[in-house]
A and B are shown apart, each in its own frame.
Chain A
Amino acid sequence: LAKTTQPISMDSYEGQEVNITCSHNNIATNDYITWYQQFPSQGPRFIIQGYKTKVTNEVASLFIPADRKSSTLSLPRVSLSDTAVYYCLARWGGFQKLVFGTGTRLLVSP
């Protein structure tokens, strides 16, 4: 049975680097892993997407090991406004089902 799991919550302080890991067994060979940020009463907002190794954009980095059974979202120097829930999204096996992670609630404190 496919599962996409994340830590339930994480705490950090302003200026620190935060790494959130998602485990996704049975991910399809060619599918990408996508991470989203969600604030209360809003839809998920796209952060970053990758297939393998490392991807970096202006807000985050995404690390994906060779076996692709996990991925790590890295947020450099977080601020208070980064307090949100972060979700990973992966496609499950050959059934083309989009499976969201359980979500990680990040709290950034001053």
Chain B
Amino acid sequence: SAVISQKPSRDICQRGTSLTIQCQVDSQVTMMFWYRQQPGQSLTLIATANQGSEATYESGFVIDKFPISRPNLTFSTLTVSNMSPEDSSIYLCSAEDGDRGYDSGNTIYFGEGSWLTVV
């Protein structure tokens, strides 16, 4: 299974600032995803990080607010820009393990998350 590391694991941020979360996978993966999980809630997909092209964002999430980089097959970053208290949440990186495509039984694994508190 893929091992996914995220940094920072936790941070307290000032309103109006931006923070970049790093995600490192221990093997090459085709698909990487970023999720947000607000306290007591389920996970919501922010975007799919595509290697070599722009990320694909879900409804309600925009590139200006959540710019994503995917420079290679093992690494991605998510930036939370111009933060407000509403952005306080856990941000989770995930990756699809395997190269057969999800519909062939690849598994999606998650990092431990980055817990951001905006004050």
For the complex, is A61 an interface residue (Cβ under 8 Å from B)?
no
| Given contact pairs A36-B110, A41-B115, A87 touches B105 in the complex (Cβ within 8 A) | no
What range describes how many residues of B lie at the interface?
20 to 34
* A-contacting residues, B95-119, CB 8 Å: 102-105, 107-113, 115
B102 in complex: contacting residue of A31, A36, A41, A103, CB < 8 Å: A31
Chain B nearest Cβ from A110, distance in angstroms: 25
A101 to B44, CA, bound (A): 10
- Shortest CB distance B92–A (Å): 6
Contacts of B26 in A (CB 8 A): none
Is there contact, CB below 8 Å, between B103 and A102? no
A102-B102 CB under 8 A given contacts A43-B110, A43-B111, A97-B58? no
| Cα–Cα distance between A20 and B44 once the two chains are bound (Å) | 21
With A36-B110, A89-B108, A97-B58 in contact, do A44 and B43 touch (Cβ < 8 Å)? Answer: yes
User: Do A103 and B115 touch (CB < 8 A)?
Assistant: no
Complex: A99 Cα to B59 Cα, angstroms: 13
Is the Cβ of A32 less than 8 Å from the Cβ of B103? yes
Contact across chains for A34 and B103 when beta carbons are under 8 A apart: no
A→B interface (CB under 8 Å): 28, 30-32, 34, 36, 41-46, 49, 51, 87, 89, 91, 96-103
Q: Which 9 A-B pairs have the closest CB atoms?
A: A30-B103, A43-B110, A43-B112, A100-B43, A44-B110, A43-B113, A103-B42, A100-B42, A31-B103
